[in-house]
Protein backbone atom coordinates (compact mmCIF):
# COMPACT_ATOMS: atom_id res chain seq x y z
CA UNK A 1 0.00 0.00 0.00
CA UNK A 2 2.89 2.39 0.73
CA UNK A 3 4.34 1.81 -2.72
CA UNK A 4 0.94 2.45 -4.29
CA UNK A 5 0.72 5.74 -2.39
CA UNK A 6 4.22 6.71 -3.58
CA UNK A 7 3.21 5.95 -7.17
CA UNK A 8 0.08 8.09 -6.83
CA UNK A 9 2.01 11.02 -5.33
CA UNK A 10 4.59 10.65 -8.11
CA UNK A 11 1.94 10.86 -10.82
CA UNK A 12 1.29 14.23 -12.45
CA UNK A 13 -0.92 16.76 -10.76
CA UNK A 14 -1.76 17.88 -7.26
CA UNK A 15 -3.53 15.45 -4.94
CA UNK A 16 -5.50 16.35 -1.82
CA UNK A 17 -5.66 13.94 1.10
CA UNK A 18 -9.31 13.25 0.32
CA UNK A 19 -8.48 12.53 -3.32
CA UNK A 20 -5.65 10.17 -2.33
CA UNK A 21 -7.94 8.42 0.16
CA UNK A 22 -10.63 8.02 -2.49
CA UNK A 23 -8.18 6.72 -5.10
CA UNK A 24 -6.67 4.19 -2.71
CA UNK A 25 -10.00 3.35 -1.04
CA UNK A 26 -8.78 4.11 2.50
CA UNK A 27 -9.47 6.78 5.13
CA UNK A 28 -7.80 10.20 5.17
CA UNK A 29 -6.39 9.30 8.59
CA UNK A 30 -4.64 6.28 7.07
CA UNK A 31 -3.28 8.46 4.23
CA UNK A 32 -1.86 10.93 6.78
CA UNK A 33 -0.29 8.07 8.72
CA UNK A 34 1.22 6.56 5.56
CA UNK A 35 2.57 9.96 4.44
CA UNK A 36 4.23 10.39 7.85
CA UNK A 37 5.71 6.89 7.61
CA UNK A 38 7.02 7.50 4.07
CA UNK A 39 8.61 10.74 5.28
CA UNK A 40 10.20 8.92 8.22
CA UNK A 41 11.57 6.34 5.77
CA UNK A 42 13.09 9.11 3.65
CA UNK A 43 10.81 8.73 0.60
CA UNK A 44 8.82 11.97 1.02
CA UNK A 45 9.65 15.51 2.09
CA UNK A 46 7.22 18.12 3.33
CA UNK A 47 7.55 21.37 1.40
CA UNK A 48 7.68 24.73 3.12
CA UNK A 49 7.59 28.04 1.28
CA UNK A 50 9.51 29.82 4.04
CA UNK A 51 12.64 28.93 5.96
CA UNK A 52 13.06 25.17 5.99
CA UNK A 53 12.67 23.37 9.29
CA UNK A 54 14.65 20.22 10.06
CA UNK A 55 13.27 17.50 7.79
CA UNK A 56 11.29 19.98 5.69
CA UNK A 57 12.30 20.75 2.11
CA UNK A 58 12.06 24.32 0.87
CA UNK A 59 10.02 24.86 -2.26
CA UNK A 60 12.44 27.37 -3.77
CA UNK A 61 9.81 28.89 -6.03
CA UNK A 62 8.11 32.17 -5.30
CA UNK A 63 4.36 31.65 -5.37
CA UNK A 64 3.88 34.65 -7.70
CA UNK A 65 5.65 32.88 -10.58
CA UNK A 66 4.69 29.29 -9.80
CA UNK A 67 2.60 27.41 -12.39
CA UNK A 68 0.60 25.58 -9.70
CA UNK A 69 0.14 28.51 -7.29
CA UNK A 70 -3.65 28.33 -7.53
CA UNK A 71 -3.75 24.72 -6.32
CA UNK A 72 -0.63 24.51 -4.14
CA UNK A 73 -1.10 24.43 -0.36
CA UNK A 74 2.48 25.34 0.61
CA UNK A 75 1.62 29.00 0.97
CA UNK A 76 -1.73 28.25 2.60
CA UNK A 77 -2.89 26.16 5.50
CA UNK A 78 -2.33 22.72 3.95
CA UNK A 79 0.76 20.64 3.27
CA UNK A 80 2.56 19.74 0.10
CA UNK A 81 4.70 16.63 -0.15
CA UNK A 82 7.29 15.72 -2.77
CA UNK A 83 9.18 12.54 -3.45
CA UNK A 84 12.82 12.55 -2.40
CA UNK A 85 15.48 11.06 -4.67
CA UNK A 86 15.06 7.80 -2.74
CA UNK A 87 11.29 7.97 -3.29
CA UNK A 88 11.70 8.56 -7.00
CA UNK A 89 14.19 5.70 -7.22
CA UNK A 90 11.89 3.20 -5.48
CA UNK A 91 8.96 4.17 -7.71
CA UNK A 92 11.12 3.71 -10.84
CA UNK A 93 12.55 0.41 -9.60
CA UNK A 94 9.04 -0.92 -8.94
CA UNK A 95 7.34 0.44 -12.05
CA UNK A 96 4.73 -1.94 -13.33
Q: How many domains does the chain have?
A: 1
Secondary structure of residue 75 in the 3-state scheme: coil
The CATH number given to whatever domain includes residue 14 is: 1.10.10.10
pLDDT in tens, 2-49: 999 999 888 866 677 888 899 999 999 999 999 989 989 999 887 654
First to last CA, the chain: 14
Q: pTM for the whole thing? A: 0.69
Q: Which domain holds residue 36?
A: 2-93
* Among candidate residues 42, 54, 28, the one with its CA nearest the CA of residue 84: 42
List CB contacts of 23: < 8 A, sequence separation 6 or more. 8, 15
Please, where are the H alpha helices in the chain?
2-10, 17-24, 28-40, 85-93
Amino acid sequence: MLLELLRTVHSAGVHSLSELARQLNVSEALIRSMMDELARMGYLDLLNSGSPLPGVAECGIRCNGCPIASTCRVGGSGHAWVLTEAGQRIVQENAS
